[in-house]
Amino acid sequence: MLTRIDHIGIACFDLDKTVEFYRATYGFEVFHTEVNEEQGVREAMLKINETSDGGASYLQLLEPTREDSAVGKWLAKNGEGVHHIAFGTEDVLGDSEAIRGKGVRVLYDQPRTGSMGSSITFLHPKDCHGVLTELVTSNPDH
User: Hey, which residues are catalytic here?
Assistant: 7, 43, 60, 84, 134
Nearest by Cα to 111 from 125, 140, 91, 86: 91
User: Quick check: 63 and 15 in contact, CB under 8 A?
Assistant: yes
Nearest by Cα to 57 from 9, 90, 23: 9
Strands 133-137, 81-89: pairing kind: parallel
Q: Which residues pair with 123 in a beta bridge?
A: 106, 133
Q: Which residues pair with 60 in a beta bridge?
A: 9, 45
DSSP class of residue 106?
B
